[in-house]
Amino acid sequence: MRHLAATLTLLAVPLAAMADPLPSWNDTATEQGIVDFVTRVTDPASDDFVPEMARIAVFDNDGTLWSEQPLYFQGLFALDILREKAKADPAILKDDILKAAAAGDMKAVTAGGEAGLVEILDVSHSDISVEDFQSSARAWLTTAKHPTSGLTYAEMTYQPMVELLSYLRDNGFRTYIVSGGGVDFMRSVARDAYGIPTWQVIGSQGDTTYEVKDGVPTLWKDGGIRFIDDAAGKPVGIDAAIGQRPIFAAGNSDGDFQMLEWTTAGAGPRFGMIIHHTDAKREFAYDRDSHVGKLAKALDQADAHGWHVVDMARDWSRVWTGEK
């Protein structure tokens, strides 16, 4: 029996090595490009070998790791919280954009653009402890249902990207989220959703202060915007939090352009990836004219920079982690 167990163990090693590390990716040039890159940078005999301490991969979140339509998930969460606050204190609805948001007028909200969304976030994400905010966000993400998919928002993470994160970590990479989304919102589920610890989440930040409330030391969210981790802010955020240039970057919009540009401009092997939303049947199809996740400049310049463009309809056999 001991000999049989040893034989089965030996047989399992090559079988595990042969297993597809990216089962939700179709066998296309995109998947092959990922595997080729990882193989080159992790093979000590390769001219492109990269030591583990330099294997850093950064990922946008909205539209890259989970869906972002019809509005960023944090925006939808903010609308729900704003409505709850307005019931208790209607005086917080100080202008037309806040009144439209509380009334559920999505057309007016989207017409307000980024400035309107920031205002809604400012009001809905303040006057609460960081711990209570993260608990509220986690509860909403895991129970509230998306208006068209019927899945919870936490179930709308992209299965192929979750696999990619795991594949990179299995090969000595450290994986970071670098997103325009609020850092506390993303940290509420990052570990469970992606296997990424809270300290490897870089995002936009509001004003936070330390106070002792009722004898309890507390971090308190005061509202306001201290740092926006988007566009040119992304490389700045990466440098501040990590202190070195990544070798792998993935995004889906023009807001990720500078992160991709900076990452792939470094010396040695580099990998840039853009998620192109081409699948109206299984997810959503959008790029240049979208009110969120606009993709124009980055798509036009992808070839010149050598970035890999993921065609969601062609490259993914499955979309969401929660789909049956």
What whole-number distance in Å separates Cα of residue 206 and Cα of residue 184?
Answer: 9
pLDDT band at 14 (very low <50, low <70, confident <90, very high): very low
Q: Give residues with Cβ within 8 angstroms of 111, minimum separation 6.
A: none
> Confidence band (pLDDT; 50, 70, 90) for 30?
very high
Q: Is residue 73 a part of any domain in this protein?
A: no
**Residue 187 corresponds to which amino acid?**
R
Residue 240: give its domain's CATH number.
3.40.50.1000
- The whole-angstrom separation of Cα 291 and Cα 70 is 9
Number of folded domains that form the chain: 1
Taking only the tens place, the pLDDT of each residue in 228-271 is: 999 999 999 999 999 999 999 999 999 999 999 999 999 999 99
Rounded to whole angstroms, the Cα distance separating 189 from 177 reads 12
H or E element at residue 221: strand 216-227
Quote the pLDDT of residue 114: 74
The pTM of this model reads 0.92
Secondary structure tally for the chain: helices H, strands E: 15, 9
Residue 200, in any domain of the structure: yes
**How high is the mean pLDDT of the chain?**
93
CB 308 within 8 A of CB 272: yes
Closest C-alpha to 56, from 263, 256, 230, 258: 263
Residues of the domain holding 248: 23-68+134-315
Indicate whether 297 pLDDT > 60.
yes
Structural domain includes residue 292: yes
- Whether residue 255 lies inside any domain: the answer is yes
Is residue 216 situated within a structural domain? yes
SS3 312: helix
Question: Residue 226: inside a domain, yes or no?
Answer: yes
Strand partners, 59: 177, 250
The answer to whether 188 touches 70, Cβ cutoff 8 Å, is no
Q: Are strands 285-286 and 174-182 parallel, antiparallel or unpaired?
A: unpaired
pLDDT for the residue numbered 2 = 46
List pLDDT tens digits, range 179-232: 999 999 999 999 999 999 999 999 999 999 999 999 999 999 999 889 999 999
Tell whether 97 is covered by a domain.
no
**Does a structural domain hold residue 41?**
yes
**Structure confidence at residue 8 as a pLDDT band (50, 70, 90):** very low
